[in-house]
Every structure is written in C-alpha cells, then in structure tokens.
Amino acid sequence: MKLPLAKGTKRALLVEGGGMKGAFSGGVLHSLNQYLGPQNFDLVVGVSSGACSAAYYVTMKNPEPIKSERALSVWYKELSGRQLISLLHPFRGKTFLDQEYLIDFIFRKKVRLESEFLGKKGFPEFRIAVSNLHSHSIEYVKATSTNIFELLKAATSLPIATRGKQWLAGRLYSDAALLNPLPIQDLIEAGYKEIIVVMNSPVAHISKPLSLVTGLFAFPRNWKIAKMMRRWHHHNFNHARIIAKKPPNGIHIHTIAPDVPLPVSLTTTVRNRLFETVQLGTQKGEEAAAFLKDFFLGSQKTLKGTVQSRAKRQTPNKKPLRSKSKRK
C-alpha cells in the first residue's frame, strides 16, 4: 500500500518514532491539539511509537484539553517503571516490551483511543507505516476503527524487544523504522507540498549503521530482512534529514525537533526523564503552532490569489472567441 496521492492543500504531518523518545512527539501533538487540530492536514503518517501519539491526535478534531492531557500522561505515568519494559517480563511469559499492556490495556481500556472517529468526515486520513516481512518493503496502511489496534501492534513490533512481527490481514508486519524511519521522500513523491515533520532527535543527528550482531539477533530466521535493515535504516534516516534541511524546489518542510539530544533513550522508563521529555515536546509544539497558523494562513491566501489570477488571465481569452462567433 502506497501513500495516497496528494489533494486539497497537499499538506501532510509526519511523526517519527524512536521508542520512548516518542514522549517528545506526544508533547508536540498535545500542543498542536490546543492550537492546530488535525483537520489542518490532508494526511497524517505515523512511524513506530510516533503512530501511538498520532493516533490520539487524529481522533480529537477540536481542542480537548482534558482528553489530550490524559493521553499525554500515558508516557510518564503508564509507561514508566516496569509496566511496559522489564527484563523480568520473559520470566512471566511476556516479551521485554509488553505490547498487550500498551495496546490492549492502555489504548483499548484505561486511556481509551476513540477509534470510532477514524475516517469520519472532518478528520484527516491516518496512515501508519509498517514493514511487510513478505515483500520486504514499506507499506502505509490506512487506520480504521476495525484495524487500528492490531496495526499499532505491527507498528511497534520491535525485534528483540517484542516478537518482532504481527499478523495483520493475513500478512506479517513489523516496525517500519527497520527500513525507513522517516519517509519524507515518499511523501514528496506522492505530491505533498507542505510537510510538517515531528522528529524525536535533533535535525543534525546522524545515525550510524546497525551492527551485524543486531541484525542477527533481530531476525535470525530472515537473513534478507536483516540485511536490508542494516543497509537501509541508517541510510534513509540520514537522507531524510538532508531533505528536511534542504527541500526540493516547491516543497515546504517545517521540522519540529529538540535542539539537543533528549534525556531519554529507546528504552528509558524513568518517570522524571519521561516527564521532562514530554515538557520539552509541549514547549516546541507551542512554538511551532504559533508559526504554523500564520504559515497556513499565508498559504491559503497565496492559493486564493493564484486562483483569482488564473481567472483574470482566462477572461480576456474568452471575449475574442465570443465576439468572433457573433460576427460569423
């Protein structure tokens, strides 16, 4: 499944993953909810843990301070300590990262994701990026009320930390970040002209190639995907940041990213560090929302002016045609 071709404002929001670094994007989207709702985008794309934060954002059309704050608190209240990630989980028949706790308990019940709003009028289309383990390629699956929870499991199926794979519609999927952590290029190729990117590390951050050992442990029975992961993960990560800093002509890319490395890593579960990360994201989100509101308004005026100028250019061309027909 490819990304839908751009239409309307040709504006997309892309949310990066990164394990517990997703607490930053959670803060950013909380602020956007207060000032810039999801209806300002034609398409929202989430990768890995970024899909989790984006899922709450796209189901709140209007500012929802209480609901949004509750969703944001998941990062530092529900996912801290040993609830989500623990070395003791395997002794209890669980994976190191307990997806059942995250998706089936938190998202389905305790802090319920209102999935019934997915696909409704006035809400943007929400696509979640996943790696197809059969075709060894990235797919952008449309999130619906019937598939969202299994889709989120697929998006967060990290090798080693989880089983590394999830069945969805008869196929096995895994985290899209294995092959492409930040698919900006795919959005450009689909025709999107205004792209807002939420990054969970500084724009200048460079990713190093994954080690051979990591590939072996990640997919011991799938050498092809292990090899592709080692080849493409860092390449696409770094290439996306180059594009973000210097977009092609006619493409506007605005990045919302931390200025320095976050106080958390992929697996940090220390509450105060997660809370600090959330606060950093909230602050950056507020700054971005103020800028984007003016930017979007300017874009609408430009588009309106372009349409009017085209109409004016067409009018003189029509009059001679009509006058000629009259003389005949």
- Maximum distance among all Cα pairs of the chain, rounded to whole angstroms: 92
pLDDT at site 253 = 97
Give the structural domain span for 222: 11-313
Q: Is it the case that residue 12 has pLDDT exceeding 60?
A: yes
pTM for this entry: 0.89
Q: How confident is the model at residue 315 (pLDDT cuts 50, 70, 90)?
A: very low
Q: What average pLDDT does the segment 296-305 reach?
A: 61
Q: What is the pLDDT of residues 25-57, one digit of tens each?
A: 999 999 999 999 999 999 999 999 999 999 999
Handedness of CA 211, 217, 221, 222 (dihedral sign): negative
Position 168 in a domain: yes
- CATH code for position 266: 3.40.1090
Position 105 in a domain: yes
Position 48 in a domain: yes
Specify the number of domains making up the chain.
1
Q: Is it the case that residue 181 has pLDDT exceeding 80?
A: yes
Position 106 in a domain: yes
pLDDT at site 304 = 47
Q: What is the pLDDT of residues 195-221, one digit of tens each?
A: 999 999 999 999 998 887 777 677 877
Q: Is it the case that residue 89 has pLDDT exceeding 60?
A: yes
Residue 168, beta-bridge partner list: 171
pLDDT at site 216 = 67
pLDDT at site 318 = 37
Q: How confident is the model at residue 301 (pLDDT cuts 50, 70, 90)?
A: low
Q: What is the pLDDT of residues 224-279, one digit of tens each?
A: 888 899 999 999 999 999 999 999 999 999 999 999 999 999 999 999 999 999 99
Round to whole Å and give the CA distance between 180 and 173. 14
Position 134 in a domain: yes
pLDDT at site 323 = 30
Q: Is it the case that residue 308 has pLDDT exceeding 50?
A: no
Position 319 in a domain: no
Q: What average pLDDT does the segment 104-112 reach?
A: 97
Is pLDDT larger for residue 255 or for residue 300?
255
pLDDT at site 218 = 76
Q: What is the pLDDT of residues 117-174, one digit of tens each?
A: 998 998 999 999 999 999 999 999 999 999 999 999 999 998 889 989 999 999 999 9
Gyration radius of the chain over CA positions: 22
Position 320 in a domain: no
Q: Is it the case that residue 287 has pLDDT exceeding 60?
A: yes
Three state DSSP letters for 256-271: ECCCCCCCCCCCCCCH
pLDDT at site 211 = 82
Position 43 in a domain: yes
DSSP 156: T
Catalytic residue numbers?
A: 48, 175
Are the CB atoms for 208 and 32 separated by under 8 Å?
Answer: no
pLDDT at site 212 = 78
Of the candidates 168, 49, 147, 131, the one whose C-alpha atom is nearest the C-alpha of residue 97 is 49
For residue 267, count other CB atoms closer than 10 A to its CB: 14
Distance of CA 279 to the CA centre of its chain: 19
